[in-house]
Amino acid sequence: MKVPFLDLKAQYDSIRDEIHGAMQEVMEQTAFAGGPFVARFEEEFARYCGTRYAVGVSNGTDALWTALLALGIGPGDEVITTPSTFIATAEAISLAGARPRFVDIDERTCNMAPERLSAAITPSTRAIIPVHLFGQMADMDPIVEIARANGLHVVEDACQAHGAEYKGRRAGSIGEAGCFSFYPGKNLGAYGEAGAVVTNDPEIVDKIRVFRDHGQRKKYYHGIIGWNARMDGLQGAILSVKLKHLDKWNELRRTHAGMYRRLLADLDAVTLPVEADYAKHVYHVYATRVQDRDDLIAFLAKRDIHCGIHYPVPLHLQDAYQLLGYREGAFPVAERCAAEFLSLPMFAELTPEQIEAVCEGIRSFLAVTV
């Protein structure tokens, strides 16, 4: 049975008429760059996240970058994050002119280990970016407490965590700013590129709104050197349609995760993701850990079952970040995880038969009788 890693077409088929209607409205109004459809989505998404504001931007990387700029972070500053994330987290720090500093992750949740945070703070540290990796929020209480005690900003990288919760609070609503990507494969994905920053701080909103539009408040009067980081009208309208389905889709992901757990829990060779007591995990990625993962991936691919690796190389060992001077062994947990991560197919439209096929494939590989 074919099991794709992700099936965007299945989701599109389930909302086709709503999407076509929304796109047609944008085209009738020719509201293509920014405009009323983006403004409406911003209101809806802020309400969803439990924040006062949302600002739509062109992608998640720009969301992180503009949030850091709005907080005044720049050359000479350091920003702490983890090496176990997509490179955009660190790129945004670098684009702001600051220097990423990494702390290792917690082996159970694969998120920033708060107990390692204090040792990474230097006189140049200005902010912390906890990444809510795979759809589970980082342990925010101790992170915020350490940030407060040291006068540091907290910017959440919620690019993989639309609708995830920490003690009942939604991703993006705990730090001074929460940054989202709506890359097509995300739990809430656009039909192209898009992102947003959510916040309760009107000053952050004002700065990002000006920056995203070439530094202008009034057309062709540019107060600062900005950028074109606007969200498309079509993406705003599509995201409004899809936001209405997000909770249902997240619940389906959670159900699928429960089924994977039931079918794989007895296998010692496969470490399954852990949902922390404080968390509502939305399983953007169902990341297991397996020692012979490359062989297992090849074995499953022969059965037309497709997996992913998120991510094979931690950021401190990427060529792009050799300039930071970290060596192998600097972050042993992140390195161990990177060598073993194996993401199983996960999307709302996955069927029980497909999940069974994946689990059966894994069991056959491990030569375990069901």
Closer residue to ligand PLP (CB): 60 or 361: 60
Beta bridge partners of 170: 165
Single-letter amino acid code for the residue at 246: L
**What is the side-by-side order of every strand in the sheet holding 169-170?**
169-170, 165-166, 279-280
Give the residue with the Cβ less far from ligand PLP, 70 or 296: 70
Work out whether 59 is an interface residue with ligand PLP (CB under 6 A). yes
Q: Which of 66, 81, 82, 85 binds ligand PLP (CB under 6 A)?
A: 85
Question: Residue 157, interface with ligand PLP (CB under 6 A)?
Answer: yes
CA atoms within 13 A on the CB side of 255: 12
What separation, in Å, do the N-terminal and C-terminal C-alpha atoms of the chain show? 18
> Which range touches ligand PLP (CB under 6 A), out of 152-160, 261-269, 321-329, 347-355?
152-160
d(CA 186, CA 173): 19
Contact between 195 and ligand PLP per CB under 6 A: yes
Nearer to ligand PLP, 66 or 271 (CB): 66
Task: Please give the distance of CA 9 from its chain centroid, rounded to a whole number.
Answer: 21
Strand partners, 155: 177
Sketch the per residue contact string, 89 through 108, with ligand PLP: x for CB under 6 A, - otherwise: x-------------------
Query: For residue 116, how many other CB atoms are within 10 A of its CB?
Result: 17
136 near ligand PLP, rule: CB under 6 A: no
What's the Rg (C-alpha) of the chain? 21
Gap between the Cα atoms of 3 and 18, Å rounded: 26
Q: Does 361 help bind ligand PLP (rule: CB under 6 A)?
A: no
183 interacts with ligand PLP by CB under 6 A: yes
Site for ligand PLP in 61-80 (CB under 6 A): 61
Report the residue number, 346 or 357, with the smaller CB distance to ligand PLP: 346
99-102 β-sheet, strand order: 53-57, 195-199, 177-181, 153-157, 125-128, 78-81, 99-102
Give me the residue whose beta carbon is nearest to ligand PLP.
60
Measured between alpha carbons, how far is residue 223 from residues 69, 207, 251 in Å? 15, 11, 45
Shortest Å distance, C-beta 266 to ligand PLP: 31
Q: Does 181 bind ligand PLP (CB under 6 A)?
A: yes
| Structure token digits, residue 369 | 């009788």
Stretch of 25-33, 155-163, 226-234, 326-334 contacting ligand PLP, by CB under 6 A: 155-163
Question: Which residues are near ligand PLP by CB under 6 A?
Answer: 59-61, 85-86, 88-89, 131, 157, 159-160, 181, 183, 195
